[in-house]
A and B are shown apart, each in its own frame.
Chain A
């Protein structure tokens, strides 16, 4: 009865009061997850503010092709004008805190943005405290190139400048980290670069684990395309890097030490700094969320998506961040109108290039089960091991098509 009278009163309110009452969402992070979410929220009629530190986004997918000299850096860059044109208020600032009780986001310059619900897609923070010798200064001598931009260009330049006959070293971290097949795609394309431009050189891949994504497909391709050039050392054979010396470009493993002409260190990671500051991350460094709504399990009213979350079987990929954005927005819209959260079903596909015109993929279909996202048995899996060259070529082509579509959906 009281509710009904209130509803009636609401209906009778003059228009400007309605405008003031329009739902407000603040999105932090304008990468694959955040840009997609901000746009979907605006399209759903929600007053949306996107807080993104950088005026230009630099995409990681296909940045391994840039490193290998196969693609211009320009093809990785995207702006926010299209989001602005759709009514998203884009603020190029760093968010420094989320006050979930007062429902507001705090920016570096002190600006306060009130919200009804918030969504955080901050990506990763590289841990410069995890591998002895590898801090931010060391990354200028031994690039990680795991956040695309200046680091990507630095690694590309080092490879272009190195003498033929030198050794390139890659250090690959234990799970979990951004883009599970990414290091192996990078190893493949660096091997392709060396084979065609500096054929007396070698690539040494030192891995802190024994099993990895699309392993049989990668290893078959390496044996066929890069024999004697690419040497892969798993954990069991002493692949774990325990210390680095940036000045000497030397890495130490359980079994010995190696010096490289170029050293690419991919360090351990955790959820982006704002996730730690806002209390969204647990002791693992990553953010636990409800797998249907992507609402934080630690901070009610705040949703988290993308690389930052603990997603169960779903990998940390641009595809996943984009898919989670759409599902999280549907949940947020339902919650804002007091409706039940819709059931969730998500897809992922990660393409990798092992050489130009040679693509492979891994796919999965996921649903919430036991509080996390679980694989649907029987669905998903990798490209066949015995596919003909025409299928590899088609997949390389589809990979580029996917990138064009997902970046258009998020940014264009």
Chain B
């Protein structure tokens, strides 16, 4: 009974319609969506296609990077696109 009520309650909560795709939540450890003065830029509100393109260039080694080239290689193109759509929203 309790479990069912719980399940219904949780399904009703709007927060769950926006679940982070694979790997995306850990990008926020560096790309703060709230710090305005950050050196590592916020990706919120950016163009999703641009973010996906940047990730592709990092992965292929054609975009200058101190770190992102090493991280971007852990994701496929499809995974990157899902992250880009979520993180820019």
Partners in one complex: yes
Write the residues of chain A forming the contact surface with B, with a CB cutoff of 8 angstroms: 3, 6-7, 9-11, 13, 17-18, 21-23, 43-45, 116, 319, 322-323, 326-327, 330, 333, 336-338, 342-347, 349, 361, 363, 365, 376, 378-381, 383, 387, 391, 394-395, 397-398, 401-402, 404-406, 408-409
Assuming the contacts A10-B8, A342-B19, asked whether A363 and B38 have C-beta atoms less than 8 A apart, the reply is: no
The DSSP consensus for interface residues of chain A is: helix
* 14 A-B residue pairings within 8 Å (CB atoms): A13-B5, A22-B6, A322-B29, A342-B19, A349-B71, A365-B23, A380-B74, A387-B66, A398-B30, A398-B40, A398-B66, A398-B67, A405-B29, A406-B29
When the two chains form their complex, are residues B25 and A7 in contact, meaning their CB atoms are under 8 A apart? no
- Nearest-neighbour CB distance to chain B for A344, whole angstroms, equals 8
Assuming the contacts A323-B26, A398-B40, asked whether A17 and B74 have C-beta atoms less than 8 A apart, the reply is: no
When the two chains form their complex, are residues B39 and A408 in contact, meaning their CB atoms are under 8 A apart? no
Assuming the contacts A11-B8, A21-B2, A398-B66, asked whether A347 and B22 have C-beta atoms less than 8 A apart, the reply is: no
Query: Which residues of B from 6 to 37 have beta carbons under 8 Å from A?
Result: 6-11, 13, 15-16, 19-20, 22-23, 25-32, 34-35
> Which chain B residues border A327 with CB–CB below 8 Å?
25-26
Q: Choose one: A23, A116, A345, A363; the contact of B67 (CB below 8 Å).
A: A363
- Nearest-neighbour CB distance to chain A for B75, whole angstroms, equals 7
Asked if B44 is at the interface of the complex by the 8 Å CB criterion, the answer is no
When the two chains form their complex, are residues B13 and A45 in contact, meaning their CB atoms are under 8 A apart? yes
In the complex, the 9 A-B pairs of residues with the closest C-beta atoms, listed nearest first: A365-B74, A345-B23, A379-B74, A326-B25, A379-B73, A323-B26, A21-B5, A337-B10, A405-B32
- Nearest-neighbour CB distance to chain B for A267, whole angstroms, equals 29
Which residue of chain B lies nearest to A116 when distances are taken between CB atoms in the complex? B6
- Nearest-neighbour CB distance to chain A for B56, whole angstroms, equals 14
Assuming the contacts A21-B6, A337-B11, asked whether A405 and B38 have C-beta atoms less than 8 A apart, the reply is: yes
Asked if B78 is at the interface of the complex by the 8 Å CB criterion, the answer is no
When the two chains form their complex, are residues A10 and B10 in contact, meaning their CB atoms are under 8 A apart? no
When the two chains form their complex, are residues B74 and A345 in contact, meaning their CB atoms are under 8 A apart? yes
> Which chain B residues border A11 with CB–CB below 8 Å?
8
When the two chains form their complex, are residues B5 and A18 in contact, meaning their CB atoms are under 8 A apart? yes
Query: B interface, how many residues as a size bin?
Result: 35 or more
> Which chain A residues border B35 with CB–CB below 8 Å?
404-405, 408
Q: Considering the chains assembled together, what is the distance between the CA atoms of A344 and B21 in angstroms?
A: 9
Q: Considering the chains assembled together, what is the distance between the CA atoms of A11 and B12 in angstroms?
A: 11
> Which chain A residues border B74 with CB–CB below 8 Å?
345, 347, 365, 376, 379-380
Which residue of chain B lies nearest to A360 when distances are taken between CB atoms in the complex? B66
When the two chains form their complex, are residues B67 and A409 in contact, meaning their CB atoms are under 8 A apart? no
Query: Which residues of B from 64 to 80 have beta carbons under 8 Å from A?
Result: 66-67, 70-75, 79
Assuming the contacts A6-B4, A398-B40, asked whether A22 and B9 have C-beta atoms less than 8 A apart, the reply is: yes
Assuming the contacts A330-B19, A395-B66, A398-B40, asked whether A409 and B29 have C-beta atoms less than 8 A apart, the reply is: yes
* Chain B 45-75 interface mask (CB, 8 Å, partner A; 1/0): 0000000000000000000001100111111
When the two chains form their complex, are residues B25 and A45 in contact, meaning their CB atoms are under 8 A apart? no
> Which chain B residues border A395 with CB–CB below 8 Å?
66-67
Assuming the contacts A326-B26, A337-B7, asked whether A401 and B16 have C-beta atoms less than 8 A apart, the reply is: no
